[in-house]
Amino acid sequence: MNMRHGRYLFILTFLLPPVGIYAIYMLSPYVQAIYISMTDWSGLTAAQTFIGFDNYVEMWNDDQLHKALWNNLILVLVVPVLTLLLGLFFASMLNVGGRSRGGAVTGVRGSSIYKVVYFFPQVLSVAIIGIVFKYVFAPENAGGILNRVLGAVGLDGLQRLWLAEPDYLIWIIVLVMTWSFVGFYVVLFSAAMQAIPRDIYEAALLDGSSRLTTFRKVTVPLVWDTVQVGWVYMAIQAMDGFATVHIMLGINGGVQGAGDVLGVAMYREAFAEADFGYAAAIGVLMLVLTMVAAILFMRGLRRERVELA
């Protein structure tokens, strides 16, 4: 066959650029990270000594890192749960929440407009989202609209210097991240719900099943595969939080470092404290946590599915 001629030349030419760039800029950093995490490298000079697991021991004793780790756990536990509940709720409202006069199950009116609006945060840069919410929660004399709104509706008592209260910080981050995630999952779950045959709903309706029962016994089980995938993806996303915290609270994680997360701690150690070895060790910790979270989240829902089936 004449195609044989030059076949390997072709394969090689086509593979070299993508594989080369991927190997240099993405794979090699990951491989190096593990080694760097076992050195005391400052990053400023070439001098680096192999110190074994010292950086990992240091993490064990680092109170600020514990704070960051704790905050990451809050993010990874709370954000996906909130996002999942709100996402499923709104998606089912949009797609099967309507009832036409004859009793048919339909989407509500204007559902496509809702989807466009809900989804919009997903296409925005986290930088923009962070900036907008920095001002939503700002003090009243610096444009803080939340306090303004509270004042306008007579809830002055609830006004706070939101970003100056250490106890609030991570919960504000939870709210902002949930806000930006929900729309994506509404659209994702909507696509799955659109695929459910309408007859099933009509049968459930004729059996006199309530909305809540229909939601629990029909909608949720039938979109479960999508929920499972989305749920794991949420866990990985929630592990991040870097840009939101970095922009809203700054490189130290806000007042008393109370809103610190691992990503920000890592960036700070590397580029502000010139401790690249330690930063790389935090990176390795993040990898392990992400993997563990992904596996646990996968397990968590799989068990539930058996129960429902």
Partner 1 sequence: MTTTQSPPRVSGDGGSPRRGGRRDRMPGVGAGEKAVGLINGGFLLLWGLITALPLLWAILSSFKTNGEFRVDPLGLPSGVQVDNFSRAWSAANIGQYFLNSVIVVSISLTLTMLFGAMGAYVLARYDFPGNRFLYYLFVGGLVLPVFLALVPMFFVVRNLGSLPVVGQFLGLNSYLSLALVYVAFSMPFTVFFLTAFFRTLPTSVAEAGIMDGCSHFSLFWKVMLPMARPGMISLALFNFLGHWNQYVLPLVIMQDGDKRVLAQGLGTLAATTGFRADWTALFAGLVIALLPVLIVYIVFQKQVQAGLTAGVLK
Q: Does 73 bind partner 1 (CB under 8 A)?
A: no
CB of 291 to partner 1, least distance (A): 7
Q: Does 90 bind partner 1 (CB under 8 A)?
A: yes
Specify the residue, 7 or 307, whose C-beta has the smaller distance to partner 1: 7
Nearest to 91 by CA among 103, 77, 108: 108
Residue selected from 53, 57, 60, 103 as contacting partner 1 according to rule CB under 8 A: 103
Chain centroid to Cα 263, Å, comes to: 13
Q: Does 42 bind partner 1 (CB under 8 A)?
A: no
Q: Does 57 bind partner 1 (CB under 8 A)?
A: no
CB of 188 to partner 1, least distance (A): 5
Binding mask 268-307 for partner 1 (x = CB under 8 A): --xx----x--xx-xxx-xx--xx--x-------------
CB of 290 to partner 1, least distance (A): 5
CB of 307 to partner 1, least distance (A): 24
CB of 191 to partner 1, least distance (A): 6
Selected range binding partner 1 among 49-57, 60-68, 160-168, 233-241, rule: CB under 8 A:
233-241
Q: Does 195 bind partner 1 (CB under 8 A)?
A: no
Residue selected from 145, 150, 161, 200 as contacting partner 1 according to rule CB under 8 A: 145
Q: Does 108 bind partner 1 (CB under 8 A)?
A: yes
CB of 15 to partner 1, least distance (A): 6
Q: Does 160 bind partner 1 (CB under 8 A)?
A: no
Q: Does 89 bind partner 1 (CB under 8 A)?
A: yes
Q: Does 82 bind partner 1 (CB under 8 A)?
A: no
Q: How many angstroms separate the CA atoms of 237 and 259, rounded? A: 17
CB of 289 to partner 1, least distance (A): 9
